[in-house]
Amino acid sequence: MSEATSWVRKDLLGIAELSAEEIRLVLDTADTFREVSERPIKKVPTLRGKTVVNLFFEPSTRTRSSFEIAEKRLSADSLNFSSSGSALSKGESLVDTALNLEAMAPDLVVVRHRHPGAPHLLARRLESGVINAGDGAHEHPTQALLDAYTIRRRKGRISGLTVAIIGDIEHSRVVRSNVHLLTKLGAHVRLAGPRTMMPVGVEGLGAEVVYTIAEAVTDADVVMMLRIQLERQSRTLFPSTQEYFSVFGLTRERLTAAKEDVIIMHPGPMNRGVEIASEVADGPYSVILEQVANGVAVRMAVLYLLSGARREAA
Ligand code: CP
């Protein structure tokens, strides 16, 4: 296992504050953990005696399961907190909930919340390390790290690649974390979507902005499709899912403009027939399930590095 000597952060709250060296350290550390999931006995004692609380206040399939599996493969003890059935329904606040759980001495807290900044608030109040598992439309750092890890494994590099990210840019935390990460590592990022789903000031993100899927896909090395986040939209931004698919859906025909060895990514959950055709999602260029598999190694790396930082600070 590589020694993580240069990781000094207590928390992982976003990609914006990470340096390119810190990002590479996470990806390199994930490389050392990847083979654990290929062993007959998928477990190492690295975090034996450590406790991780998974605090999910929003629905999740991939992120929650992936953190839980990563914790188990590192031999940590996990507590999965669910807001339904908790004292939140009796009026207890987020901070009080977290302080009460911290009184039971966890080492790390993984938090997903619909409010941007909720993990930052907890990080200021808790002694435990805090990992942002998605805060509103702000950031989803471990998703961007697993996306970068998948690109690097497939392409051998990130620098110099053209990565097209297409869909509901305004409401996506995945896009924000990915733009920060990919530009720090030297990729050219191209954002595309309907004008109604572009945030004000999108030009300032450091990515090229286009408004047709044809422009976005042309000569792309990587095409990342995004779901329309109806739960974060306060008004109707497109006439119908059929019309959205006809204008912005990724089809086999549209993909022919990309590089011959293009890879197709999606953070999930995927809406087939809305942003992506099934034949593309299940086709030979798709690495969508590889992203999910790689998420375990990347989250093992993050848990390891953050618990290591806490050991050094003690
Ligand atoms: N990619 C992602 O965050 O998926 P979940 O919402 O299922 O965790």
- 64 contacts 101 by C-beta, under 8 angstroms: no
Could you tell me the distance, in angstroms and rounded to a whole number, from the CA of residue 189 to the centre of ligand 1? 22
Query: How is residue 45 written in tokens?
Result: 């004692």
β-strands 222-225, 162-166 pairing = parallel
Exposed e or buried b for every residue in 24-49, given b needs 16+ CB within 10 A?
Answer: bbbbebbeebbebeeeeeeebebbee
pTM, 2 dp: 0.94
Give the C-alpha separation, 171 to 226, whole Å: 10
Q: Is 60 in the pocket of ligand 1 (CB under 6 A)?
A: yes
CA distances from 281 to 11, 92, 162, 228, 288 (A): 34, 42, 20, 16, 7
Concerning whether 62 is annotated as a catalytic residue, the answer is: yes
142 within ligand 1 shell (Cβ under 6 A): no
Mean pLDDT by 10 residues, the chain (314 residues): 67 97 97 96 96 95 98 97 88 94 96 97 97 97 98 98 97 97 98 94 94 98 92 72 94 98 98 96 98 98 87 53
Q: Is 249 in the pocket of ligand 1 (CB under 6 A)?
A: no
Query: Distances in Å between the alpha carbon of 229 and those of 222, 234, 238?
Result: 22, 10, 12
pLDDT at 63 (0 to 100) = 98
pLDDT digits (tens, 9 = 90+) for 224-263: 999 987 777 666 767 788 999 999 999 999 999 999 999 9
Query: pLDDT tens-digit profile of 88-123?
Result: 989 999 999 999 999 999 999 999 999 999 999 999
Q: What does the pLDDT read at residue 2?
A: 46
Question: Over 52-110, what HEC string results?
Answer: EEEEECCCCCHHHHHHHHHHHHCCCEEEEEECCCCHHHHCCCHHHHHHHHHCCCCCEEE
Q: What's the gap in Å between 133 CA and the centre of ligand 1? A: 9
Whole-number pLDDT of residue 310: 54
Radius of gyration of the chain (CA): 19
